[in-house]
Structure 1
């Protein structure tokens, strides 16, 4: 069986899209570059997040014709291929992991035994429907949406003024130093996480099963704006289409541009999704 892409959407929130999506041969993926916490990017790209997302997507396109035996190898392969590129493109070396570019992603493929193999790092989401049951893979609904950010932004600076993302930068920078380190968090970057921290697995699928891959910008409709729960989001995606959901998301973000009703670090976020159907052999 093969993965047939039904629809994709990827809309930028600013001048450059730090998300990427793609499908080639037996692989499909969505990538969400982690917003920079440096004053200026180290590369010549609009942001180091955009740099990593673009180059990682290129690597996946290159690997698609001859992918690794196990998708769990991808974080190491991506790091090995992108580290020298980053060293060549950066105007100075990073001072440590906190300055490394990084990205969340989900990569999937069908195996020869009729299972969907996946690897996921970070806060992207995959929804899979087979035999009438819906399964959520990736960050779960209870912890998605950067709850600590919303909680922090609901507090104040002591002057009555609300906190902003700038106020949260020290904590965000401290968190970045823990990427791919024991006790920290796993993410795609120019270094690889310990293999024990990589989330991977297989799901047996029947022909006709359906899949949705999404970055957390798109799942803001669930996690931040509470417009849908997971099942309603799934149904809306397949009945109305991803482009319509992306338009609805932008309208909600614009209507709360002050980020007061729905506290969040960024007014809007890049939003990417892919609808896939499992079909018979090509």
Structure 2
């Protein structure tokens, strides 16, 4: 049984490091959140970053590809908030359950909430919001990494360099979308972002039809079976430095290629995070940026949690 404390979700860092002590399998491990930040690219932030005694997580909401089916400013933000609340509740009421069981419970809860909002069962799962997800959890005296989609975990293994964890078939699928965006942008360098998305919409819909399907990609959504397809691993050791990031923040590594995992692991204060965000936004909005670094959206929400685990 884990000694539970109130979970927290933040769009900004706590007022200093937050220390949680979890007891699992008779061993005590400290989960210390150093930085916990989430900043939106627009009026609505569709990311969430949360933590509790046993775990820390980042959720990156994604809208359905059709018109929003849920009465909210953003169905992606609604889903991310719903999933975050579900994780907070799950770790309070079933802290000893496996991560897969917790995720199944959370996604079933999200499905019930979505159908309650819609007042019908006759809606395609592809039209409902979903989210990429990554979590670091204290489990039986070890660190457990879990991802679904393109949120990822950065970590310093004892004696090793900084590395990224999290594999997903979504990367290859999205690469086709980026290739198409490059073609469009090459032909129309000054195309408006809304028109670019309109031209990409058939490809985006084709991508979404492969969500949580065999031969497609698996992601946090309203299908609890996705919990059986997480990318996961456990890391042993008395101390582990790690971080969790949404794909919006990871653009610094994989889109603009101006940082490596070690650079992001060095983000250990809110001020350092703010400096990285300023650098990211400058790159996103610089002249010719969309053509030089093709992508679907000019800017994206960015979330980051820096933490340490120690015995």
Give the TM-score taking structure 2 as reference length.
0.80
1:187–1:193 CA contact under 8 A, matched in 2: no
Residue 4 in 1 paired to residue 32 in 2? yes
Residue 267 in 1 paired to residue 298 in 2? yes
2:131 to 100, 103, 113: 103
Shift of 1:47: 1.7
How far, CA to CA, are the matches of 1:206 and 1:148 in structure 2? Answer: 42
2:252 to 193, 203, 221: 221
How far, CA to CA, are the matches of 2:96 and 2:214 in structure 1? Answer: 25
Aligned ranges 1:187-202 → 2 under 5 Å: 187-193=219-225, 196-202=228-234
Unaligned runs of 5+ in 2: 1-28
Residue 248 in 1 paired to residue 276 in 2? no
Residue 73 in 1 paired to residue 129 in 2? no
Give the TM-score taking structure 1 as reference length.
0.88
2:81 to 43, 54, 69: 54
How far, CA to CA, are the matches of 1:157 and 1:276 in structure 2? Answer: 39
Q: Deviations over 1:29-80 (max 9, x none)?
A: 0000124422x31111112111110000001111122325211223321221
Give the helix-richer structure, 1 or 2.
Answer: 2
Unaligned runs of 5+ in 1: none
2:185–2:290 CA contact under 8 A, matched in 1: no
Cα RMSD after superposing both structures: 2.5
Shift of 1:196: 4.8
Greater RCO, CA 8 A, separation 6+:
1
Runs (4+) of structure 1 exceeding 6 A deviation are none
1:68–1:74 CA contact under 8 A, matched in 2: no
1:124 to 129, 146, 151: 151
2:142–2:237 CA contact under 8 A, matched in 1: yes
Aligned ranges 1:8-157 → 2 under 5 Å: 8-38=36-66, 40-65=67-92, 66-90=94-118, 95-112=123-140, 114-133=141-160, 134-139=162-167, 143=171, 146-156=174-184
* Number of aligned positions between the proteins: 273
SS in 1 for 2:184: coil
Q: Who is 1:165 aligned against?
A: 197
1:31–1:53 CA contact under 8 A, matched in 2: yes
